[in-house]
Amino acid sequence: MLGRLCGWLAIAATMLAAAACTVPPAAESGVAQAVSNDDAVLAAQLYAGTPRTPAGFLSDPAPQSFSQVATYHLKTRQLDSNAPAQHELCTDDWNEALAWSEMVAQQAPTYLDLVGNTSTERYYEFDRVPHGDPQRYERMRVFRCGYLDRSGVDLDSTSNVAGTMNARPLDAAALGGLAEYLWEFSEYDNVNHAVVSSAARPVTTGLAHTLTLATLERGATCDRVTLNEWTTTADPATGELNSAVTPLREFSVHRVGETVVGC
């Protein structure tokens, strides 16, 4: 009887030992996963919300004298709700751009008074404020076709087509400026996002420019940082543009006081 009891005890001990071996070490010990110093610095930057772009990145500051400033390019469906595709408009006729701006201003819940306008090599801008509400400011822009034609783009699809760049010379600097400008109107120019780097990328043919993007996704106990590459390519002869976002990697962190640790 004693021998049988000892046998059962030995079997039970063996089963417990095997079960213990299946517990992940991190879960068993409660030790946080390590995070590199560079990743911790990046996460701290995302938590702080600044800086959101690297040194030398294209600057397009909004006026500081208004409580709310909105900057956007006029799009096809703002003029025609039945337009087959949604993309930014372009023209080389200032009067046509003004007419489009006026159509959108009249559609607003409160008419948008025209208070100024600007022309650059990239766009025509029409500055407006809602009638009777001078603290809101809207910068309506229309691309100049001589700079960028976005027809053929569908902002609601996953197509890589990014339009045609007509400005010349079309070199690495010009493509980089366009890539940084388009970021300003993307989903990545929002809270919990940052540009880690912006640089030309060597390719076999044509030109390419890559923005490395970081995004903070907040969770109940752990937050996730994801990194992606947004690459815009151009054919220098035709100006044809394509763009694609490629996932790089991710890691999990949280804050203990002001310290960023892995989890």
Distance, CA of 212 to CA of 195 (rounded, Å):
6
**Average pLDDT, whole number, for the chain?**
90
Q: What is the pLDDT of residue 238?
A: 97
Encode 20-37 in three state secondary structure: HHCCCHHHHHCCCCCCCH
Q: What is the pTM of this model?
A: 0.86
- DSSP letter (8 states) at residue 189: S
The residues near 231 (Cβ < 8 Å, ≥ 6 apart) are 201, 208, 209, 210, 211, 243, 244, 245, 246
What CA–CA distances, in Å, run from 123 to 45, 55, 89, 108, 148? 32, 24, 10, 22, 9
pLDDT exceeds cutoff 60 at 20 = no
Confidence of residue 31 (pLDDT cuts 50, 70, 90): low
Q: What is the pLDDT of residues 32-66, one digit of tens each?
A: 678 899 999 999 999 999 999 999 999 999 988 89
Q: What is the pLDDT of residue 32?
A: 61
The residues near 207 (Cβ < 8 Å, ≥ 6 apart) are 170, 171, 172, 175, 200, 233, 234, 236
Residues in a beta bridge with 121: none
Q: How many residues does the chain have?
A: 263
Name the token pair of 214: 């970081």
Q: What is the pLDDT of residues 115-167, one digit of tens each?
A: 999 999 999 999 999 999 988 999 999 999 999 999 999 999 999 999 999 99
